[in-house]
């Protein structure tokens, strides 16, 4: 069997959904499970709605209406007005209505998951209905009953044993009857609440199903020809890799190559399942294949840029050395605020650390650090990582920029620049 994953960009409008159905139609020789993300930028819009609800902002209803309108316009282009999918979508939106009618309570992350998950619940119902309308037998699977997580809302941790058991129990039989369509990005707790797996987590969903079902391959359909040596939105001349090893792909995603979610590779590597990254607009092209292969010579360096970074310098107040005890206290705060360290460096009296700017986490971090340490920080920075680097390229990348921190190893250079 195979797993396909279609991201937001591929289902952003009616023609995207028609294109998806054509890709599926041409590839139905083996059983197929399809993971779909929210349409276009719906998750961003639902995040805005969650914020507006928690703040009880005046524009809350307006934001919600815009989200509904966007989906209904697409529905009208794909279905006759009396089609049953209209009720299915309406009923899903009603779940948000019920949530936002009540006063918001304290647990922002819980509220976030209950509202933001609607994006995938709606998109998959639309895709499933369209496949059936196009003559491709398809069933909708509620992923929340199959990917079991703990209750770490916004970053659900998968209970692999339970997940494997549920998926293996039901999904193979469903796949015999036709295509199975399921939401990406979501899981469910033992109390039947919805969780999300972290932003852009639908790639990970595809990888979880593939590992549990021992799939022949996973294909993620993207708006790019495959994995490129850099983000084409930031660099003009990019080169596609025909082939990558799991090891290289896991490094690239760890450093921030957003084309694949960082958690995607491990389950596939463990089960030796190849991952294909292919262009949804040119499905006949080979894209990039990521597999066990070892012997790839990198003539083209990989460039990864993470924007919106903070560089925080933490020093003792009395010029005493930064000790292991200090580091343990500092790391404790990073762990408790769920702040992932992207790069770090220490000197005698200071410890410097770079991470993604997330205002709520940053505020909590500062509150924890300020009583014991002196802290200075810079924001709006970029973290540039170059793998398989060449000296000339590093110069080119930093021309006109101030390098605030640099780290070099045999294969990788990382620079925090302003």
Residue 72, token pair as written in the block: 């209904």
Q: Does 200 bind ligand PHD (CB under 6 A)?
A: yes
Residue 220 vs 330, nearer CB to ligand ADP = 220
Are 156 and 194 within 8 A, CB to CB?
A: no
Residue 196 vs 352, nearer CB to ligand PHD = 196
Closest distance between ligand ADP and the C-beta of residue 71, in Å? 17
Name the region of 69 (left: φ>0; alpha: ψ -120 to 50; beta: rest).
alpha
Closest distance between ligand PHD and the C-beta of residue 88, in Å? 19
Q: Please give, one letter per residue, the 3-state secondary structure of the chain.
A: CEEEEECHHHHCCHHHHHHHHHHHHHCCCCCEEEEECCCCCHHHHHHHHHHHHHCCCCCHHHHHHHHHHHHHHHHHHHCCCCCCHHHHHHHHHHHHHHHHHCCCCCCHHHHHHHHHCHHHHHHHHHHHHHHHHCCCCEEECCHHHCCEECCCCCCCCECHHHHHHHHHHHHHHHHHHCEEEEECCEEECCCCCEEECCCCCHHHHHHHHHHHHCCCEEEEEECCCCCECCCCCCCCCCCECCEEEHHHHHHHHHHCCCCCCCCCHHHHHHHCCCEEEEECCCCCCCCEEEECCCCCCCCCCEEEEEEEEEEEEEEECCCCCCCHHHHHHHHHHHHHCCCCEEEEEECCCEEEEEEECCHHHHHHHHHHHCCCEEEEEEEEEEEEEEECCCHHHHHHHHCCCCEEEEEECCCEEEEEEC
Pattern 8-37, binding to ligand ADP, x per CB under 6 A? Answer: xxx--------------------------x
Q: Does 43 bind ligand PHD (CB under 6 A)?
A: yes
Give the β-pairing of 341-346 and 350-356.
antiparallel
By a kind-dependent CB cut-off of 5 to 8 A, residue 43 interacts, out of ligand PHD, ligand ADP, none, with: ligand PHD
Closest distance between ligand ADP and the C-beta of residue 161, in Å? 28
Among 1, 2, 4, 7, binds ligand ADP (CB under 6 A): 7
* Residue 120 annotated as binding site: yes
Q: Does 258 bind ligand ADP (CB under 6 A)?
A: yes
Closest distance between ligand PHD and the C-beta of residue 118, in Å? 11
Closest distance between ligand ADP and the C-beta of residue 112, in Å? 19
Q: Does 8 bind ligand PHD (CB under 6 A)?
A: yes
Site for ligand ADP in 225-254 (CB under 6 A): 227-228, 230-233
By a kind-dependent CB cut-off of 5 to 8 A, residue 201 interacts, out of ligand ADP, ligand PHD, none, with: ligand PHD
By a kind-dependent CB cut-off of 5 to 8 A, residue 223 interacts, out of ligand ADP, ligand PHD, none, with: ligand ADP
* Residue 43 annotated as binding site: yes
Among 21, 37, 124, 229, binds ligand PHD (CB under 6 A): 37
* Residue 8 annotated as binding site: yes
Q: Does 382 bind ligand ADP (CB under 6 A)?
A: no
Q: Does 222 bind ligand ADP (CB under 6 A)?
A: yes
Q: Does 67 bind ligand ADP (CB under 6 A)?
A: no
Residue where the block lists tokens 């490129």: 228
Residue 149 vs 205, nearer CB to ligand ADP = 205
Closest distance between ligand ADP and the C-beta of residue 238, in Å? 7
Among 51, 133, 199, 374, binds ligand PHD (CB under 6 A): 199
Distance CA 49, CA 112 (A): 9
CA-nearest of 24, 281, 11 to 133 is 24
Site for ligand PHD in 116-145 (CB under 6 A): 119
* Residue 79 annotated as binding site: no
* Residue 155 annotated as binding site: no
Closest distance between ligand PHD and the C-beta of residue 298, in Å? 26
Distance CA 130, CA 141 (A): 15
* Residue 178 annotated as binding site: no
Site for ligand ADP in 147-206 (CB under 6 A): 200
Residue 281 vs 393, nearer CB to ligand PHD = 281
Partners of 187 in beta bridges:
195
Binding stretches for ligand PHD (CB under 6 A)? 7-8, 37-38, 43, 119, 184-185, 199-202
Would you list which residues are annotated within the binding site?
5-8, 43, 120
| Interface residues toward ligand ADP, by CB under 6 A | 7-10, 37, 200, 222-224, 227-228, 230-233, 257-259
């Amino acid at each position: 069997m195979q797993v396909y994953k279609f991201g937001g960009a591929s289902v952003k409008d009616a023609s995207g959904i028609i294109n998806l159905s054509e890709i599926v139609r041409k590839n139905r020789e083996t059983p197929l499970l399809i993971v779909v993300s929210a349409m276009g930028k719906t998750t961003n819009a639902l995040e805005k709605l969650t914020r507006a609800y928690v703040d009880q902002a005046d524009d809350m209803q307006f934001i919600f209406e815009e989200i509904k309108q966007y989906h209904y316009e697409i529905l009208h282009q794909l279905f006759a007005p009396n089609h049953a999918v209209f009720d299915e979508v309406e009923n899903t939106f009603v779940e948000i209505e019920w949530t936002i009618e009540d006063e918001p309570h304290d647990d922002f992350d819980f509220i976030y998951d209950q509202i933001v998950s609607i994006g995938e619940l709606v998109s998959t119902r639309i895709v499933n209905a369209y496949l059936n309308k196009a003559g491709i037998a398809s069933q909708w699977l509620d992923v929340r009953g199959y990917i079991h997580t703990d209750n770490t809302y916004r970053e659900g941790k998968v209970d692999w044993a339970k997940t494997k058991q549920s998926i293996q129990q039901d999904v193979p039989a469903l796949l015999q009857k036709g295509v199975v369509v399921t939401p990406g990005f979501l899981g469910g707790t033992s109390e039947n609440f919805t969780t999300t797996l972290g932003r852009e987590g639908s790639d990970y969903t595809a990888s979880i199903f593939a590992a549990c079902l021992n799939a022949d391959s996973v294909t993620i359909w993207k708006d790019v020809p495959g994995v490129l040596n850099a983000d084409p939105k930031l660099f003009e001349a990019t080169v596609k890799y025909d082939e990558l090893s799991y090891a290289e792909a896991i490094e690239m995603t760890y450093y921030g190559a957003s084309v694949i979610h960082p958690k995607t590779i491990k389950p596939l590597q463990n089960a030796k399942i190849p991952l294909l990254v292919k262009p949804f607009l040119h499905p006949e092209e080979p894209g990039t294949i990521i597999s066990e292969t070892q012997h790839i010579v990198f003539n083209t360096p990989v460039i990864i840029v993470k924007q919106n970074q903070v560089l925080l310098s933490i020093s003792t107040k009395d010029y005493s050395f930064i000790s292991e005890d200090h580091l343990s206290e500092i790391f404790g705060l990073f762990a408790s605020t769920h702040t992932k360290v992207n790069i770090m460096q220490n000197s005698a009296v200071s410890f410097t650390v770079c991470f993604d700017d997330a205002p709520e986490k940053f505020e909590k971090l500062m509150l924890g650090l300020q009583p014991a340490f002196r802290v200075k920080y810079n924001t709006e920075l970029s973290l540039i990582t170059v793998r398989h680097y060449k000296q000339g390229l590093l110069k080119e990348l930093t021309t006109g920029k101030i390098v605030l921190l640099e780290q070099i190893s045999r294969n990788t250079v990382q620079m925090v620049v302003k």
